Amino acid sequence: MIKDTVLNALNKQIKLEGDSSQLYLAMASWAEVKGLEGTANFLYAHADEERMHMLKLIKFINERGGKAFVPQIEEPKQDFSTLKDVFTAILNHECFVSDSINDIVGLTLEQKDYATHNFMQWYVSEQIEEEKLARNVLDKLEMIGSDKGGLYLFDRDIVTISVESSQE
């Protein structure tokens, strides 16, 4: 059975993953309205991925004899100034998520909950990839600057950027 301290931390992580999904969804909607269809599709896919991270936690908790708590999700920020602002917010958010996951990993070691520790290693690896992807996208946007032609090509090619990042 999962210990209460670990259960509480995992339930907080469920909320964070749900909030992440909503954030990406709001960003996708913003991008779509701005005519950035490639970016919108990229962000819609990431919203789904974050939801799957949440579901993975819920199932793990329930399988370990705990009770997953599905919280109310907070309304995310809806407006952004630029695409660079969007991806800066993504990087900052992913670093925050990484910190939360690292805290849970530390707690599992303190509590000698090696099953949860092992389970959380997937999240540790996933966060390394998420941060790397956000940094890669920000580097590309920095190169583009205010060039509208570059932005057009970026928006067209963002799916390739995410695929390349996941294969490195």
Neighbours of 1 (CB within 10 A): 7
Rounded Cα distance between 110 and 92, Å, is 27
Give burial (CB, 10 Å; 0-12/13-18/19+) of 138: middle
81, 92, 93, 111, 113 from 88: Cα distances, Å: 11, 6, 9, 35, 35
The answer to whether the annotation marks 50 as part of a ligand binding site is yes
Do the Cβ atoms of 133 and 90 come closer than 8 Å? no
How many residues make up the chain in this entry? 168
The answer to whether the annotation marks 53 as part of a ligand binding site is yes
The answer to whether the annotation marks 94 as part of a ligand binding site is yes
Buried b / exposed e across 5-22, counting CB within 10 Å, b at 16+? ebbebbbebbbbbbbbbb
Please, what is the end-to-end C-alpha distance for the chain in angstroms? 38
Query: Which residues line the annotated binding site?
Result: 17, 50, 53, 94, 127
Query: Which residues line the annotated binding site for Fe cation?
Result: 17, 50, 53, 94, 127
